[in-house]
Structure formats: C-alpha cells, structure tokens
Amino acid sequence: MSKGKVVLAYSGGLDTSVSIKWLQEKYGYDVIALGLDVGEGKDLEAIKNKALAVGAEKAIMIDAKELLANEYILPALKANCLYEGKYPISSALSRPLISKLLVEVAEQEGAVAVAHGCTGKGNDQVRFEVSIQALNPGLEVIAPVREWGMTRDEEIAYAEEKGIPIPVDLENPYSIDANIWGRACEAGVLEDPWAEAPEGAFDWTAPISMTPDEAEYVDIEFDKGVPVALNGEEMGLVQLIEKLNDLGGKHGVGRIDHIENRLVGIKSREVYENPGALILINAHKELEFLTLPREVTKSKVQIEQQMTQLIYDGLWYSPLNKALAAFVEETQDVVSGTIKVKLHKGNHMVVARKAANSLYNEELATYSKGDAFDHNAAVGFIKLWGLTTKVYSEVNNPKKQQEAKAKETVK
C-alpha cells in the first residue's frame, strides 16, 4: 500500500533515475518526477519519457528560465553578487527556485514529501532543505543519494538489476551543473589544485588561442538596474543573458578557476564559465559608479557582501535576505544608462559609459579651461578634515611629552 506521494527533483541522470525506484522500494511512495529547464539545454520531453519509463507515477516538466532570470538572477545582478569576489553564484541561485517549484507541485499534487539528489558533501543539500523548510515546514524532505550509501559501481549494478537505462556519458569524469547564469564543473583531474584545468572541462568559452584577433564592442542599456537592450536592440532578460553568453564565450570571457570555501566546511576546486554574468555585473557596477552618490556606493558594497553570503549559504528565503534585497532595490531607481564593453582575448573591459542622470560633472572634473571647481575651498576643507588627526598628534607627540616631563622634573 502506498504511503502517499513524493515529488522528486528529477534531472534524468543516473542518481535521480535510481532514486525513483529506491523511493518506491524503501519508502513505498508514489513518485512524481519534476523536471526543470533552467537553461542547461535539456530535452524536457525525453526526460519526461524516461521518468515514466523508469517507474514514476507522473512526470511534470517546467520551462523555468524566465522565473530564474527575473525572480532570482535579477536581484543578484542588482546586488553585484560575486562569492569570494569571483563567482556569480549561478548554482546557488537556481536552488531556491527549484525548491519553490518542488513545494508548489507537492501542494498541488497532495504530496507528503519532496526529494532531491544531493550528496551529503556539498552545499546544495543545505540550500534545498532550508528553502523547503522556509516555504512549507510540514513537508518531509528525503535525500536518497545521501541516505543509500551506495558506491558508483553498486549504483550501476542496482540500475541494471531494475532495468534503469544507464547514461552513455557515465564515464565523463566531471560533475556539471548549468543554468543560464553559468556552468560549474568539478571532479576528475580538477580535484588536484596543482593540475591546470584541461580544455575538456570547458564548454561555453573558447580557449584564447581560438578567439578572434579583433576586439568586439557591445553596448548594454540598463533601466533602473535592469539590462534591457544590447546594441540598441531591446530584448528580454533570458535572451539578453544567452546572447552575452555566446558573445563572451566566443572571446574566451568568463572562465573562473576557484578554490572555494564550501558551506559544509571543506575547500573544493571549481571551474566556472559565466561569460554573460561577469559582463553584466561589471557593466552594472560601472553604471552605479556613474549614477550613485559616494555614501550609497560605500554602504551598498557591504550589503552586497552580506547578500551574496546569504544566498550562497542557502538562506534566500530568510527575512534578512528580504531586507537586504529591499535596500538594493531602493538604490536602483537612478541606475539607468548605457555601458560600452570591449571583449577581447578573455577580457571584458568597460570603456565608455553614459547616463541621463550621471553624477559626473565635466566642469568640476576638468583640469583644462572651464574648470569650475573652487580650489580655494580646499584649504578650509583640508583644515577641518584633518583636525582630529592634528589634535591627536599634538596631544600624543612623543617630543612634546618628553619636554613636559622635563619641566616637571625641574620643578
């Protein structure tokens, strides 16, 4: 007799395919497979058919690229999120979305549990389970791969015994995770931090030797922090990101080789490809430098670091992240304008910028004729700005203190 329904986040790979049978045999659940396209190029129809063939009671497929881009990537872009100053947290951004859809489908289908295919070693198990707890604390969460303790050979043997198709690329040494914001690659030779990442670890970006000799320029237009057009052509966020992934990848832009501090306490070596993400974050930052006052920029950097860490740590749905995101959103009202980016031989450089509400005043900045800056005002400014330092130095001057002691001795 069935114990009820469980919704499984289903990728079509070996782990989640084995999970369908394991959940049925171990727990007695009827399994609903939930497959999502977040931009990794999946064939949702093939994944649906495989889930049903393996034994799922039902298979639900959702194209989630628009949701990912507008509800998760966009807030992170406005916050210029780069984990440890390098990585645009592409994997971390998809987890709260997947969790939300797992919970929604579970509620719609009357399921009593949800399941994911994470191991007990990575960050994603935390991201999924904390997000699910935040959205529906009453749902049970099951992690088959973490629980069953099978080796890869045992898992393959189990799949063969149960008639589960084994993926043809099973011998691929790498573990890949991808969505429209980036591609992550780990395992294999990458586990040796002294080994250079081979070209086989990359897929989205060309090696420098195969990039064009001529630089390419792209104009990115923003409206209140939202990228809305490339080279004067308006387009939706998903299309815009995918276009920049192609352009950047052609020029070798977006490769990241990072020794990363995982949430669970270990260091891992990850190779990322985030051409569109890095180009957009760099362009967005430069537009903020042009349009935001100094004190806002200074405070925003601190908020960005907090927000990035929260998202990386699986706390997207925490009250603090909501509050930080509200601060970031408030700053974006004036972040409108156009940024020109030069792509060449692995580099992406902002070379020009313009905005209707630019705070750059050429008459104040120029050293040429027409300089409107009041140079005489600098004298009083310096005097007041350095007053506390001057007073401190006068009071604590070693020579002055020695003279005072000498006078006391004479008395």
Please list the active-site residues. 15, 95, 124, 175
The distance of Cα 198 from the centroid of its chain, to the nearest Å, equals: 23
Q: In angstroms, what is the C-alpha Rg of the chain? A: 27
Query: In the chain, what is the straight-line distance between the N-terminal and C-terminal CA atoms, in Å?
Result: 102
Q: Helix crossing, 152-162 with 14-27: angle to 10°?
A: 70
Could you tell me which of 188, 185, 193, 183 has the C-alpha nearest to residue 267? 193
Between the CA of residue 14 and those of 99, 158, 169, 170, what are the distances in Å?
21, 10, 10, 8
Picking from 291, 277, 295, the residue whose alpha carbon sits closest to that of residue 241 is 277
Nearest residue to 116 (alpha-carbon basis) of 39, 36, 54: 36
Largest CA distance in the chain: 102
Q: Contacts by 330-334 with C-beta closer than 8 Å and gap 24+?
A: 331/78, 331/225, 331/288, 331/292, 331/296, 331/300, 332/78, 332/224, 332/225, 332/226, 333/224, 334/224, 334/291, 334/292
Tokens of 406: 């000498």
DSSP lists the bridge partners of residue 179 as 182
Q: How far apart are CA 134 and CA 126, in angstroms?
A: 12
**Contact (Cβ atoms closer than 8 angstroms) between residue 33 and residue 20:** yes
How many CB atoms sit inside 10 A of residue 232's CB? Answer: 8
* Sheet of strand 255-261, all strands in order from the earlier edge strand to the far edge: 175-179, 182-186, 267-273, 255-261
**Cα angle vertex 304, ends 129, 250, to 5°?**
90
